[in-house]
A and B are shown apart, each in its own frame.
Chain A
Amino acid sequence: MAFYSKKNKNWIWALAFSLVIFLHFTKILAPLENLAIFSAKPLAGFLYGSGSGIRKSYEASQQQKDVFSKVSSLEQEVARLTVENAQFKEVAQDNLKLRSQLSFLSANKYKNILANVISQNLVFDIKEGDQDIVIDKGSKDGIKEDLGVINENGVIIGKVSEVRDNISKICLTTNSNCKFAATIQNNDRTMGITEGDLGLTIKMNYIPQSEKINLNDTVITSGLGGNIARGLVIGKVSQINNKSNEIWQDVNIEPLFDLNTLTIVTVLTP
């Protein structure tokens, strides 16, 4: 049967599909898309919160309930204290510099944009380690690419990787495509680049062997990565891979956030 025959109307669907694509890329469809996203955002936010709540309780039921709640509260406490500790250390460092220079540097003031998580990866990882979430704020709300995103404890969870008018995609720190300029809070103030490792942990590679790193050292953003503020906690050193016959060493960093509890996040804008 010919594709264009009168009986066969399949070409109409090809035409309809082409028309939708054409209208999208010529931005003619943009008002309708924005209206659709705008009207769906409250429902999507609510549904995502419910879904992640079910996921959290499902995972909690897999473990001993009392142990889980204890560990969970302790983890939150550790995350809070780590952030606090990191901030104090940074403040102390700043104080030393200020005193020695006898000048005052005004701290960067960052505006915050609160956003709801409305979706996460719809497809399984086509590339190993891809982990993204979608938030309900976009370029119309002042969000730009590469801005840092933190959770309620102030731990950096990722950065903005793609922006549309009303929604944005956040790549998480555990995403292998998500890289941050970072500093380890050890005596050497080791600097490097962190990247996600299989969507589970974070890695910092190519650290000179001469640098002394300890387990549980806090890793923070160095502020050299463009729009991301200095001193935001990325995680804690959980493993040091150090072989004497190699030039470099690398460390595994344990992130201090749980994807299941991410329903509200804050985007930091300069």
Chain B
Amino acid sequence: MSHLKYYFEWFFYSLFFSGVAIIQAAFISALPPVYAAINLPLTCLLFSLLVFNKEKTLVFAILIGFWLDILNFNFFGLNILIFLATFFIIDFLLNNWLTNRSLYSFLVLSSLSVVIYNILLYLFLAISHSGQAGFSFFLFQSSFWIQLGWQIIWGGIFMLLFFNVANFLSRRLKPFFLENK
């Protein structure tokens, strides 16, 4: 019976994270520019890291990356690699630098994850597109900084929302989020 529950849980999470990837690829990408900066997979994976553990989060990162890779025409594996790398770094930061697990720490972590994710992603894309006509390095493009700013804002809003919803729905999570005095 417990095995069945275990498989059902994995099935549910796989379905959820697949849904998140499809929503990002099809729905959010079609929204007006300000809203298209929402990075739902990154926020959900970050929340998974805070609620579950690194191993589970990395499996979900591979799953989301896989979906985005097959719905995208960048070279296959790019999204998987970027999500894995981002969450290795974020996990390291969480365990070594951010010992205080307050909302403010999570907001900092959310902002850092957006910055790391974007820099890694566009660095890889810049390498693959360098030498082509019309190429300009992303750090010198205003649109990169504008969408990065919006992603940080949206990441913060979603983190605030998830944090409060999780605290409201489950007492079990409270000791995880709140610092013991």
The chain A residues found within 8 Å of chain B, CB to CB, are 9-10, 13, 16-17, 20-21, 24-25, 33, 36-37, 40, 43-45, 47-48, 50-52, 54-55, 58-59, 118-130, 132, 134, 162, 164, 167, 169, 176-177
Q: Which residue of B lies closest to A24 (CB)?
A: B76
Complex contact B27–A48 (CB within 8 A)? yes
Question: Smallest Cβ distance from B131 to chain A, in angstroms?
Answer: 11
Question: What is the total number of residues of chain B having a CB less than 8 Å from a CB of chain A?
Answer: 45
* Residues in B54-83 with C-beta less than 8 Å from chain A: 55, 58, 62, 66-68, 70-74, 76-77, 80-81
Complex contact A126–B129 (CB within 8 A)? yes
Q: Which residue of B lies closest to A34 (CB)?
A: B70
Assuming the contacts A50-B27, A126-B125, A127-B135, asked whether A59 and B71 have C-beta atoms less than 8 A apart, the reply is no
Instruction: A167 to B26: give the CA distance in the assembly, Å.
Output: 13
- Asked if B88 lies at the interface with its beta carbon under 8 angstroms from chain A, I say yes
**Which of the residues B71, B88, B135 comes within 8 Å of A118, measured between beta carbons?**
B71
Assuming the contacts A20-B80, A126-B129, asked whether A44 and B32 have C-beta atoms less than 8 A apart, the reply is no
The chain B residues found within 8 Å of chain A, CB to CB, are 18, 22-32, 35, 55, 58, 62, 66-68, 70-74, 76-77, 80-81, 84, 88, 121-122, 125-126, 129, 132-136, 138, 141, 143-144, 147
Complex contact B30–A169 (CB within 8 A)? no
Complex contact B71–A44 (CB within 8 A)? yes
Complex contact B26–A36 (CB within 8 A)? no
Complex A-B: 30 CB contacts under 8 Å: A17-B77, A20-B62, A20-B66, A20-B80, A21-B76, A25-B76, A36-B70, A37-B70, A40-B18, A44-B71, A48-B26, A48-B29, A50-B27, A51-B30, A55-B30, A58-B32, A118-B71, A119-B30, A119-B71, A120-B29, A120-B30, A122-B25, A122-B68, A122-B72, A123-B122, A125-B141, A127-B134, A128-B136, A169-B73, A176-B133
Instruction: A96 to B156: give the CA distance in the assembly, Å.
Output: 66
Instruction: A43 to B67: give the CA distance in the assembly, Å.
Output: 13
Complex contact A47–B22 (CB within 8 A)? yes
**Which of the residues A17, A45, A122 comes within 8 Å of B81, measured between beta carbons?**
A17
> Which of B29, B30, B88 lies at the interface centre, i.e. has the most chain A CB atoms within 10 A of its CB?
B30
Instruction: A18 to B131: give the CA distance in the assembly, Å.
Output: 27
Question: Smallest Cβ distance from A84 to chain B, in angstroms?
Answer: 30
Instruction: A169 to B129: give the CA distance in the assembly, Å.
Output: 17
Complex contact A121–B29 (CB within 8 A)? yes
Kindly list chain A residues whose C-beta atoms are within 8 Å of the C-beta of B72: 119, 122, 134
Kindly list chain A residues whose C-beta atoms are within 8 Å of the C-beta of B141: 124-125, 128
Kindly list chain B residues whose C-beta atoms are within 8 Å of the C-beta of A43: 22, 26
Q: Which residue of B lies closest to A21 (CB)?
A: B77
Assuming the contacts A20-B66, A51-B29, asked whether A125 and B143 have C-beta atoms less than 8 A apart, the reply is yes
**Which 3 A-B residue pairings sit nearest by Cβ, starting from the closest?**
A51-B30, A47-B27, A44-B26
Instruction: A36 to B121: give the CA distance in the assembly, Å.
Output: 24
Q: Which residue of B lies closest to A50 (CB)?
A: B27
Kindly list chain A residues whose C-beta atoms are within 8 Å of the C-beta of B24: 122
* Extra 13 A-B pairs, beta carbons < 8 Å, given A21-B76, A24-B77, A51-B30: A13-B84, A17-B81, A20-B62, A20-B77, A20-B80, A36-B67, A40-B22, A44-B22, A54-B30, A54-B32, A118-B71, A122-B25, A123-B74
